[in-house]
Chain A
């Protein structure tokens, strides 16, 4: 098995006086979707933010393609090909959909320079974005904003996508939309680390799964294994299939 694209070893993170991550070990293999599951407060968001450099790791190593990321300023982490979709989506509400996309397209100086083919593909996944192209992003609905947030992350090819709870607060039909979109990304062999509370979505998309509790990864393995074992689901997540949709 080749070395994982992203590897965390013994990562601790402190926020002020709070010790959130207590030695996280995580492997994210290339070309697969890894789900990061766990109860509220387990440290999933903190893990993503630590990888991104938004909250510095106080201990441990974060390596991406063999290179250490810990201590790098956030823009440098992003420039290595890592895209981040935060829990609050990070949409610039005063800017139009077009401007949001242009910002994410580092290689383009004007909207016309955004890769046309790629944009068409994105419009295929999320037609609403094409419809509201010149509209201020703040006026979009919650689901549309989420689509924009994901679209921003894929408008240029990225080596790794870090996505935090995309389905939170969304209607089931929109979630289906998202699952379809992520499915396509999967088919294109994108590497995704996806934090999700929605187990349905997790089961549909995940190749591998890591479960966190109290700031540590307490289980990791193939998704199929966890999906088949209801006792393990209860033990690790406090729930079983069908709940928490």
Chain B
């Protein structure tokens, strides 16, 4: 993210030049897309429902992709196997929610949320742990070797998916939402699914937390600096390798969280869930600019909203619209919406 941490400027000084102007254009793009959607779709209530659905989907994709883009930005490692953490998270959700059927069957929202929260925590913990092992065993030996990274992380994903099949079986498992989270909330005429609202809330919370850590803590500062110039950060005396492991584990945990939400969103999980989302997240991080969290955020929202609009207006074109968006953005800004300099 490009918003700088701010503390009071030193006193008795020549008046400090104000902070650099924030680049609003990509956000304006999102707004523009939403604005065009309204006349295209026609009814405001449908538009509202679709927009919320789009934002929800976009935020879930952001949660999953954010770790990936930082991992790449910081250490030049592209994890083609990121999907396995998504699948892991989704499957853990099925187990936890099934085990807490008392909580999920209750009509009280609070009880339901406890169960969902437990599933999220479990998913994040386990996905993070697997991520730590994945980094050690699969990724670490191939730092700097892009070709081998692509191959080996794919291989890791294949093995991971098969192990998931061993534990949970190869068939689709239903993930019914808890009682109080079924159905929709009505805002005027618009029916907005409760699950999507949940996704929006969680997604925004993650974005805010991530933004805060990156902008206001020293660790976040180190990550942002490391994405730009890893060598210099090391020359300043910081062990970037350890930082990287932390980012990788966090990214995997976030992917697990995203898996829980995606599974609930689709209301079922299959072992291929990781591979399916993989394509989307790659498109999103290319659009956003490799290494940029804000870019990932805006890119994900753009993709989510566009996919939902085209899903309604012209369903057959949905995936193409996403690729078309990617092409259009690359033609305008070849390195993504918010390119990280020095890359």
- A: residues with CB less than 8 A from B are 52, 54, 73-75, 78-79, 84, 86, 90, 92-96, 98-99, 102-104, 106, 109-112, 119, 123, 127, 130-136, 138-139, 152
A109 smallest CB distance to B (angstroms): 5
Partner of A54, one of B6, B14, B15, B235: B235
Q: Which 7 A-B pairs have the closest CB atoms?
A: A78-B237, A90-B232, A96-B4, A74-B234, A111-B7, A130-B13, A136-B20
Q: In the complex, are the beta carbons of A93 and B14 less than 8 A apart?
A: no
Whether A78 contacts B13 by the Cβ 8 Å rule is no
B2 within 8 A of partner (CB): yes
With a cutoff of 8 Å between Cβ atoms, the chain B residues found around residue A52 in the complex are 235
For window 6-36 of chain B, which residues contact chain A by CB distance below 8 Å?
6-7, 9-10, 13-20
Q: Which residues of B contact A133 (CB under 8 A)?
A: 9-10, 13, 16
| Chain A residues within 8 Å of B13, by CB | 123, 130-131, 133
Taking the nearest CB of chain A, how far is it from the CB of B138, in angstroms? 22
Closest residue of chain A to B234 (Cβ to Cβ) is A74
Contact between B238 and A75, CB atoms less than 8 A apart: yes
Question: Which residues of the partner chain B approach A78 to less than 8 Å between Cβ atoms?
Answer: 234-237
Q: What distance in Å separates the Cβ of A94 from its nearest Cβ neighbour in chain B?
A: 6
Indicate whether B189 reaches chain A with its CB closer than 8 angstroms. no
Considering the chains assembled together, what is the distance between the CA atoms of A152 and B10 in angstroms? 17
- Check if B10 sits within 8 Å of A96, measured CB to CB: no
Q: How many A-B residue pairs have CB under 8 A?
A: 109
Residues of A with C-beta under 8 A to B240: 75
- The listed residue with most A CB atoms (<10 A of its CB), out of B13, B222, B224, B234, is B234
Interface size class of B (residues with CB under 8 A): 35 or more
Q: What residues on B are CB-neighbors of A136 within 8 Å?
A: 2, 4, 19-20
In angstroms, Cα B45 to Cα A110, docked, is 47
> In the complex, what residues of A have CB within 8 A of residue B2's CB?
94, 136
CB distance from B166 to the nearest CB of A (A): 39
Check B16 against A131 for contact (C-beta < 8 Å).
yes
**A155, B244: Cα distance in complex, Å:** 26
The 8 Å CB contact of B4, one of A74, A90, A95, is: A95
Contact: A92 with B6, CB < 8 Å?
no
In chain B, what residue has the closest Cβ to A156? B237
Q: A98 contacts which chain B residues (CB < 8 A)? A: 4-5, 7
Hey, which bits of chain B sit against chain A, CB under 8 A?
Answer: 2, 4-7, 9-10, 13-20, 218, 221-222, 224-225, 228-229, 231-240, 340-342
A-B contact pairs, 12 of them (CB 8 A): A54-B235, A73-B234, A73-B239, A75-B240, A92-B228, A95-B221, A95-B225, A102-B218, A130-B10, A131-B13, A134-B18, A136-B20
Inter-chain contacts of B342 with A (CB < 8 A) = 93
A154 vs B231: C-alpha distance when bound (angstroms):
19
CB of B97, distance to nearest CB on chain A (Å)? 40
- Docked Cα-Cα span, A127 to B229, in Å, equals 26
Decide if A135 touches B20 in the complex (CB within 8 Å): yes
A75-B225 in contact given A99-B5, A138-B341 (Cβ < 8 Å) = no
**A207 CB → nearest B CB, Å:** 25
Given A112-B7, A134-B19, CB of A94 within 8 Å of CB of B341? yes
| CA A84 to CA B84, docked complex, whole Å | 41
CA distance A162 to B320 in the complex (A): 54
**A74 — which chain B residues lie within 8 A by C-beta?**
231, 234-235
User: A23 → chain B, closest Cβ, in Å?
Assistant: 25
B224 contacts A95, CB within 8 Å?
A: yes
Query: Do the beta carbons of A134 and B16 come within 8 Å of each other?
Result: yes
Q: Given known contacts A79-B237, A131-B17, A132-B16, is B231 in contact with A54 (CB within 8 Å)?
A: yes
Cβ contacts under 8 Å, A99 to chain B: 4-5, 221, 224-225
Q: Which residues of chain B have C-beta atoms less than 8 A from A102's C-beta?
A: 5, 218, 221
* Closest B residue to A162 using CB positions: B235
